[in-house]
Structure 1
Amino acid sequence: MKCDYFSGSYRAGDVRFLLKPIQVDNTPVSIKETLIQSGQKHYSEMLTHEKLPTEEYLSLYKQALTDNQALMARHVIALAGKILATRPHSITLVSLARAGTPVGVLLKRVFEQQTGVDVEHYSISIIRDIGIDTNALLHILEQHDPESLVFVDGWTGKGVIAKQLEVSLAEFAEHHRIKIRPELYVLADLCGSAYISASWEDYLIPSSILNSTVSGLVSRSVIDKNQLSENDFHGCFYYKDYQDADLSSKFVDSIMIKVKDIMASEPLFIEHSESDEALHKQKLRQTSNYYLAWIRECYNIVNPNLIKPGIGESTRVLLRREADILLIRERSDDAVRHLIYLAEHKKLEIHYYPNLPYRATALIKEH
Structure 2
Amino acid sequence: FAPRPRLVVLADPCGRAWLAASAEDWLIPSGILGATVSGLVSRSIWAPEPGLHGCVMYPHLAGHDVTMSFIHSIETERARITAPASAQPWTLAQAWALQRRAQSVLDGISTRFSVLNSNRIKPGIAEATRAVMRRVPEQVLVRGRDDPDVQLLMHLSRQANIEVREVGDELGPYRALTVIRSVR
TM range (shorter): 0.7 to 0.9
User: Mapping of 1:98-247 within 5 angstroms?
Assistant: 179-222=2-45, 234=54, 236=56, 238-247=57-66
Shift in CA distance, 280/230, structure 1 to aligned 2, threshold 3 Å: closer
Rounded Cα–Cα distance in structure 2 between residues aligned with 1:194 and 1:235: 21
Rounded Cα–Cα distance in structure 2 between residues aligned with 1:321 and 1:307: 12
Rounded Cα–Cα distance in structure 2 between residues aligned with 1:181 and 1:224: 21
User: Mapping of 1:249-264 within 5 angstroms?
Assistant: 249-262=68-81
User: Considering only aligned residues, what root-mean-square deviation do their CA atoms show, in Å?
Assistant: 2.6
Residue deviations 1:276-314 (CA, integer Å, cap 9, x gap): 733321211111121111001100000011111111221
Q: Does 1:366 align with 2:160?
A: no
Q: CA deviation at 1:182?
A: 2.9
Shift in CA distance, 235/269, structure 1 to aligned 2, threshold 3 Å: closer
- Name the counterpart of 2:160: 346
Rounded Cα–Cα distance in structure 2 between residues aligned with 1:201 and 1:297: 24
Asked if the contact 1:330/1:354 (under 8 Å) is kept, the reply is: yes
Q: RCO greater where, 1 or 2, for CA within 8 Å and sep 6 or more?
A: 2
Residue deviations 1:93-124 (CA, integer Å, cap 9, x gap): xxxxxxxxxxxxxxxxxxxxxxxxxxxxxxxx
Question: How many percent of aligned residue pairs carry the same amino acid?
Answer: 35
- Name the counterpart of 2:101: 287
Rounded Cα–Cα distance in structure 1 between residues aligned with 2:179 and 2:54: 28
Q: CA deviation at 1:250?
A: 0.8
Asked if the contact 1:324/1:349 (under 8 Å) is kept, the reply is: no
Structure index of larger Rg = 1
Asked if the contact 1:209/1:338 (under 8 Å) is kept, the reply is: no
Shift in CA distance, 217/289, structure 1 to aligned 2, threshold 3 Å: same
- Name the counterpart of 1:335: 149
Aligned length: 181
Q: CA deviation at 1:326?
A: 1.0
SS of residue matched to 1:209: helix
Rounded Cα–Cα distance in structure 2 between residues aligned with 1:180 and 1:365: 40
Q: Does 1:270 align with 2:86?
A: yes
Asked if the contact 2:29/2:37 (under 8 Å) is kept, the reply is: no
Asked if the contact 2:35/2:58 (under 8 Å) is kept, the reply is: yes
How high is the TM-score relative to the length of structure 1? 0.45
Q: Which runs of 5+ in 1 are unaligned?
A: 1-177
